[in-house]
Copies of this chain bind each other. A is one copy, B any other.
Amino acid sequence: MTKIAVDCMGGDYAPEEIVKGCILAHKELELESILVGDEERIRHILRQEKYENKLHIVHAGDVIQMHETPSNVLKKKNSSLYVAGKLVREGMADGLVSAGNTGAVLTVGKFIIGAIEDLERPAIGVALPNPAGKTVLIDVGANVDCKPAHLLHFAVIGHTYAEEILGIKNPRVGILSIGEEEGKGNELVKESYPLLKASKLNFLGNAEGRDIYAGTFDVIVCDGFVGNVVLKASESLGLAVLQMIKEEVQKSLLAKIGALLMKPALNNFKKKADFAEYGGIPLLGAKKPVIITHGRANAKAIKNAIRVANEFLTHHFNERLSENLKTLIPQEVRT
């Protein structure tokens, strides 16, 4: 039975919602987790929920705050996040879920758990929704300044994610640039292009910003700076659009009634679009699954994150990624 280490002290609603999420995962999905954090508080919540003695607890007395410098986690060895990461590294747990300080979770993923063999760097991939399905954007923030070899590896990670987790056969891979033609883009894109072209990936060439939500590519690679900016801008655009529409609707009674009638349809749409609530975002290529959920994660989001961590294990994601790194990158391109 696999066990996911869950950082119970990270996130806006920690530890209550996090602990409840572990209970839900156990009750509804029969998935085991190890609850890492202040033992007394965790025990108290389990007692309230009448779920005592059914879940494992590992005590950790310290907490990484949301605004702490990420690298602090390497010094705070009694923090719930560090302890959870160590459990994974030492084989006591099979994956990590945290709603805490994203940078600190990344630090634990990269430096405590570490990348699988042959991989340059783990990267964050998100499956963004579009009318035709989903497009994996990778990296969206784990690596700020990147080299061409990193982007090549991100492409293989994204390919593996699309195939194994999203079920997309022979995913269409693109590199994020400005302008469609080969030779367009910044220095990093121009240098990465030939590596991608020489790989055995289904590489279609440059993707533009407009392709991200158009369903024209299954995987789009970029450095973590650009990817992070695009992801956060998209979230903020979504919120701004809803706010601006709301303000217009408030001006007219008919529009208000219309909005009421449309509500169920809008809620269905929101469910599809809210990729972060769905199950967190994964740091792909770490030795064991690392799932970062939104700081606002509630019990349901945590349950889903535990489910997603297990999915990576049952789909043998890392084994397939290792194979793909060997088979999709020709010997002469490997550095």
Chain B residues within 8 Å of A177, by CB: 225
Task: For A226, give its contact among B208, B225, B257, B272 (CB under 8 Å).
Answer: B225
Interface band, chain A: 35 or more
Q: Mark A122-158, 1 if CB is under 8 A from B, else 0.
A: 0000000111000000000100110000000000000
Q: Does A210 contact B (CB under 8 A)?
A: yes
Contacting residues of chain A (155-212) with chain B, CB-CB under 8 angstroms: 176-179, 185-187, 208-212
Task: For A249, give its contact among B129, B260, B265 (CB under 8 Å).
Answer: B265
Give the CA-CA distance A234 to B240 in the complex, in Å.
12
Q: Mark A201-237, 1 if CB is under 8 A from B, else 0.
A: 0000000111111100000001111101111111111
Q: Mark A250-285, 1 if CB is under 8 A from B, else 0.
A: 011011011111111110110011000000000000
Contact between A240 and B214 (Cβ–Cβ < 8 Å)?
yes
Chain B residues within 8 Å of A254, by CB: 261, 264
Contact between B178 and A129 (Cβ–Cβ < 8 Å)?
no
Give the CA-CA distance A186 to B147 in the complex, in Å.
12
Task: For A240, give its contact among B186, B213, B255 (CB under 8 Å).
Answer: B213
Contact between A255 and B248 (Cβ–Cβ < 8 Å)?
no
**Nearest B-chain residue to A213, judged by Cβ:** B240
Give the CA-CA distance A170 to B273 in the complex, in Å.
37
Chain B residues within 8 Å of A2, by CB: none
Contact between A179 and B233 (Cβ–Cβ < 8 Å)?
no
Task: For A241, give its contact among B178, B252, B265, B273 (CB under 8 Å).
Answer: B273
Task: For A209, give its contact among B130, B228, B262 (CB under 8 Å).
Answer: B228
Contact between A214 and B241 (Cβ–Cβ < 8 Å)?
no
Contact between B235 and A210 (Cβ–Cβ < 8 Å)?
yes
Contact between A129 and B257 (Cβ–Cβ < 8 Å)?
no
Chain B residues within 8 Å of A264, by CB: 252, 254-255
Closest-CB distance, A276 to chain B (whole angstroms) = 13
Chain B residues within 8 Å of A247, by CB: 131
Q: Does A245 contact B (CB under 8 A)?
A: yes
Q: Enumerate 6 A-B pairs (CB-CB under 8 Å) in ascending A order.
A: A131-B247, A212-B233, A229-B230, A237-B237, A251-B265, A252-B265
Which residues of A line the B interface, CB within 8 A?
103, 129-131, 141, 144-145, 176-179, 185-187, 208-214, 222-226, 228-241, 243-245, 247-249, 251-252, 254-255, 257-266, 268-269, 272-273
